[in-house]
């Protein structure tokens, strides 16, 4: 990949080569392979099978060697060489020879880049004066990892050395601080500490189970989305979790989708766990006659899909094999597309703001214009669909970018991106415009002239998947959810056993008002029970002793505001219910 010479990407790419120079200096038997820039720095893969491999303790000396070498890299230039020259230079490195074969197969020129006596095979994209361009303290070696050559587990296992690199030392330090904070917020860590979910070997990787608090959290999220949808004219349907293989043959999933579980035989026919919901929605629409007067029809279902993700790609709730989608398919006329997508974007914006996200934008995901073989449908259909999305997004006023090779195999889509409290970017909602599946399923409606027309289908999910959204929410709030989302919204703590009668009345009044409440009357000190409630990140701790029992008040300790004055029970209940109802 070629970068502007002064860009951060170019400096990161240069640092990968600098790392290679330092490794060869300290580990002469090492065979360098490839070293690209990344979103946060760079890495380089090495084969150390011919000698001693570095460990974590070697990273500081290697980093120091990079700084020492950098001062001599005042000029980095590329030269074109012949195949013979390239092969002679790298005759002892089978990885570089394989790369040379690939370059020749693509009909490209072979170029070498050199600086300070070090030369590497590369297409380019570097700093021309690394010693001057790379700021002092702006990079650091980060960690070691294993990596198969070219990502293929049949190939040799290499050692990958990762580095971090930013424009300045201050930005590097800020990134490291953010990453440390992210570790504290890791949803896998908090999920266990707060008893939200568990991943259990005996159940299977990527198949999360939810404790009561986690189940309440996900139900609260899903109910909010369901209510929001139904208030905007979407109607619920229900679909099964297995289906005949013939349905996925019809939809194209068997030919194009590679994350399906192997089939099971039922009554002599092949059945599959569903990885997608689209075909079921199509069949439900097709089972009834429709007039243009009924359109748009907005079907929605919160339902679980099962995808055979590779074990190495599974990660907590962010990548699972059982994922629940708030799925929706709108069947409409071409003239209704703009209004329907505007309705969707308005709802998505409201959802993001309600959950506490303020920075979001849209990616218009297009097919790969240079390789169209992996997509269903002809050029005219794709061109029409892509232009329709561009037109709608421009009118909504959302920030947007276009990205090739990001479309679904049946149509282009809008992917909604947001930033969390740590500035990390996530892709959540999606809207997909589909002219192909309606054709494959033979969907139709009676148009205004009495003839038969084909509807357009708009696929839409707001959360993407409940599990992944929960992971993002856990990390965004560090487990300290807003009152309306908190699995336990208040905890009643009687000071002593003689206060349990009034504590029980407080508990009952809160429960009656719809507040999710627990009572901790265990035989522990009040201080320890308060600390426990804080560790559980409960929004309100209500302490009741003799004075509260006599005055019918509660002493409130707020997670956000600290200790509050004692207040009448009715006042606390009214205030809490108002905040829960308004989701403030």
Q: Cα separation of 459 and 432, whole Å?
A: 5
**Domain match, 407 and 520 both:** no
Single residue among 428, 451, 477 that ends a domain in this structure = 477
In this prediction, residues 275-280 reach a mean pLDDT of 94
459 included as an active-site residue: yes
Single residue among 174, 206, 225 that ends a domain in this structure = 174
Number of domains in the chain: 3
pLDDT at position 466 over 90: yes
Asked whether residue 484 is assigned to any structural domain, the reply reads no
Helices marked H in 397-517: 437-440, 466-477, 500-512
C-alpha distances in Å from residue 336, one per residue of 159, 343, 551, 560: 54, 11, 61, 46
**Domain match, 516 and 462 both:** no
In this prediction, residues 122-137 reach a mean pLDDT of 91
Comparing C-alpha atoms, which of 287, 245, 244, 276 is closest to residue 409?
Answer: 276
Asked whether residue 75 is assigned to any structural domain, the reply reads yes
Per-residue model confidence (pLDDT) at position 392 = 82
Torsions phi, psi for 323 (to 5 deg): -120, 135
In this prediction, residues 182-186 reach a mean pLDDT of 95
Interior/surface letters 470-502, b for 16+ CB within 10 angstroms, e for the rest: bbbbbbbbbbbbbbbbbbbbbbbbbbeeebbeb
Asked whether residue 205 is assigned to any structural domain, the reply reads yes
**Domain match, 164 and 117 both:** yes
Single residue among 416, 449, 477 that ends a domain in this structure = 477
**Domain match, 139 and 19 both:** yes
**Domain match, 102 and 210 both:** no
- DSSP 3-state percent helix, strand, coil across the chain (nearest 5): 40, 25, 35
**Domain match, 499 and 571 both:** yes
**Domain match, 108 and 202 both:** no
* Helix 500-512, helix 569-582: angle, nearest 10: 30
Query: For residue 545, what is the domain's CATH number?
Result: 3.40.50.800
Q: Cα separation of 25 and 381, whole Å?
A: 57
Q: How would you list the strands of the sheet with 242-244, edge to edge?
A: 242-244, 269-273, 264-266
The residue to which tokens 């055979």 are assigned: 308
Q: Cα separation of 360 and 357, whole Å?
A: 8
Q: Cα separation of 411 and 458, whole Å?
A: 10
Mean pLDDT of the chain: 93
**Domain match, 34 and 166 both:** yes
Q: Cα separation of 131 and 536, whole Å?
A: 51
pLDDT at position 229 over 80: yes
DSSP 130-147: HHHHS-TTSEEEEEEEEE
Query: For residue 434, what is the domain's CATH number?
Result: 3.30.930.10
336 included as an active-site residue: no
Asked whether residue 256 is assigned to any structural domain, the reply reads no
Question: Pick the catalytic residue: 325, 336, 432, 489?
Answer: 325
Read off the pLDDT band of 118 (50, 70, 90): very high
Q: Are 291 and 255 in contact (CB under 8 A)?
A: no
Per-residue model confidence (pLDDT) at position 206 = 95
**Domain match, 430 and 511 both:** no
Question: Pick the catalytic residue: 133, 327, 420, 434?
Answer: 327
What stretches of 357-511 adopt beta strand conformation (E)? 360-365, 400-403, 413-419, 425-434, 445-446, 452-453, 456-461, 490-494
Helices marked H in 397-465: 437-440
427 included as an active-site residue: no
- Least confident range from 160-169, 232-241, 424-433, 470-479: namely 424-433
Question: Pick the catalytic residue: 307, 319, 460, 476?
Answer: 307
468 included as an active-site residue: no
Read off the pLDDT band of 2 (50, 70, 90): very low
pLDDT at position 378 over 80: no
Residue 266 half-sphere exposure toward CB, CA atoms < 13 A: 10
Total-model pTM: 0.84
Asked whether residue 212 is assigned to any structural domain, the reply reads yes
280 included as an active-site residue: no
Read off the pLDDT band of 6 (50, 70, 90): low
**Domain match, 229 and 158 both:** no
**Domain match, 365 and 436 both:** yes
328 included as an active-site residue: no
Asked whether residue 131 is assigned to any structural domain, the reply reads yes
Per-residue model confidence (pLDDT) at position 5 = 47
Domain span at residue 432 reads: 192-235+290-477
* Helix 169-185, helix 466-477: angle, nearest 10: 120
Asked whether residue 252 is assigned to any structural domain, the reply reads no
Helix (H) or strand (E) holding 18: helix 8-26
Cross-strand pairs, 140: 164
In this prediction, residues 255-262 reach a mean pLDDT of 85
Question: Pick the catalytic residue: 13, 253, 367, 459?
Answer: 459
Question: Pick the catalytic residue: 47, 160, 274, 278?
Answer: 278
Query: For residue 125, what is the domain's CATH number?
Result: 3.30.980.10
Per residue in 65-106, pLDDT tens?
999 999 999 999 899 999 999 999 999 999 999 999 999 999
Question: Pick the catalytic residue: 329, 343, 476, 491?
Answer: 329
Cross-strand pairs, 461: 327, 430
Question: Pick the catalytic residue: 160, 413, 460, 537?
Answer: 413
Instruction: Give the residue with greater pLDDT, 517 vs 398.
Output: 517
413 included as an active-site residue: yes
Q: Cα separation of 81 and 78, whole Å?
A: 10
Per-residue model confidence (pLDDT) at position 486 = 97
**Domain match, 462 and 505 both:** no
Q: Are 10 and 124 in contact (CB under 8 A)?
A: no
Q: Please return the burial class of 131, using the count of CB atoms within 10 Å of its CB with bins 0-12, 13-18 and 19+.
A: middle
Asked whether residue 244 is assigned to any structural domain, the reply reads no
Per residue in 292-324, pLDDT tens?
999 999 999 999 999 999 888 899 999 999 999
Per-residue model confidence (pLDDT) at position 1 = 43
In this prediction, residues 343-357 reach a mean pLDDT of 92
Per-residue model confidence (pLDDT) at position 514 = 97
Per-residue model confidence (pLDDT) at position 311 = 86
54: three-class secondary structure by DSSP: coil
pLDDT at position 403 over 90: no
């Amino acid at each position: 990949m070629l970068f502007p010479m002064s860009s951060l990407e170019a400096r990161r790419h240069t640092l990968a080569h600098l790392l290679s120079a330092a490794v060869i200096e300290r580990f002469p038997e090492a065979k360098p392979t490839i070293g690209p820039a990344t979103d946060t720095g760079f890495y380089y893969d090495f084969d150390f099978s011919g000698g001693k491999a570095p460990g974590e303790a070697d990273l500081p000396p290697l980093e120091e060697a990079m700084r020492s070498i950098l001062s001599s890299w005042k000029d980095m230039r590329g030269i074109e060489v012949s195949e013979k020259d390239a092969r002679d230079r790298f005759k002892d490195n089978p990885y570089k020879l394989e790369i040379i074969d690939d370059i020749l197969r693509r009909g490209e020129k072979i170029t070498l880049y050199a600086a300070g006596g070090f030369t590497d095979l590369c297409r380019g994209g570097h700093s021309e004066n690394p010693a001057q361009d790379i700021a002092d303290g702006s990079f650091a070696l980060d960690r070691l990892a294993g990596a198969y050559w070219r990502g293929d587990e049949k190939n040799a296992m290499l050692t990958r050395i990762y580095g971090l690199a930013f424009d300045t030392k201050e930005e590097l330090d800020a990134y490291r601080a953010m990453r440390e904070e992210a570790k504290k917020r890791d949803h896998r860590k908090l999920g266990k500490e707060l008893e939200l979910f568990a991943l259990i070997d005996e159940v299977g990787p990527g198949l999360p189970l939810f404790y009561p608090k986690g189940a309440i959290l996900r139900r609260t999220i899903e109910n909010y989305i369901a209510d929001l949808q139904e208030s905007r004219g979407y109607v619920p349907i229900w679909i099964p979790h297995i289906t005949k293989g013939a349905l996925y043959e019809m939809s194209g999933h068997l030919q194009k989708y590679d994350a399906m579980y192997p089939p099971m035989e039922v009554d002599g026919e092949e059945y599959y766990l569903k990885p997608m919901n689209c075909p079921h929605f199509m069949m439900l629409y097709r089972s009834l006659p429709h007039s243009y007067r009924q359109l748009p029809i907005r079907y929605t279902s919160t339902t679980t899909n099962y995808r055979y993700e590779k074990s190495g790609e599974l990660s907590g709730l962010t990548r699972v094999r059982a994922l629940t989608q708030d799925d929706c398919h709108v069947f409409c006329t071409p003239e209704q597309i703009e209004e329907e997508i505007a309705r969707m974007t308005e709802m998505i914006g409201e959802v993001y703001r309600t959950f506490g996200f303020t920075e979001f934008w849209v990616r218009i995901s297009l097919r790969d214009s240079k390789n169209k073989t992996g997509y269903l449908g002809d050029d005219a259909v794709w061109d029409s669909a892509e232009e329709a999305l561009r037109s709608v997004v421009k009118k909504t006023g959302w920030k947007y970018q276009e990205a090739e090779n990001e479309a679904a195999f049946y149509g282009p889509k809008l992917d909604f991106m947001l930033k969390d409290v740590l500035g990390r970017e996530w892709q959540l909602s999606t809207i997909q415009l589909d002219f192909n599946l309606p054709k494959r399923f033979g969907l139709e409606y009676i148009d205004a002239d009495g003839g038969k027309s084909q509807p357009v289908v708009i696929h839409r999910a707001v959360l993407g998947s409940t599990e992944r959204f929960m992971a993002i929410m856990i990390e965004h709030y560090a487990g300290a959810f807003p009152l309306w989302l908190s699995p336990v919204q208040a905890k009643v703590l009687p000071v002593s056993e003689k206060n349990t009668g009034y504590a029980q009345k407080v508990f009952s009044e809160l429960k009656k008002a719809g507040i999710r409440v627990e009572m901790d009357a265990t035989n522990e000190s009040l201080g320890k029970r308060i600390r426990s409630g804080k560790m559980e990140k409960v929004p309100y701790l209500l302490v009741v002793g003799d004075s509260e029992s006599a005055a019918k008040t509660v002493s409130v300790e707020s997670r956000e505001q600290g200790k509050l004055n004692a207040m009448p029970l009715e006042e606390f209940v009214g205030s809490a219910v108002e905040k829960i109802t308004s989701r403030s």
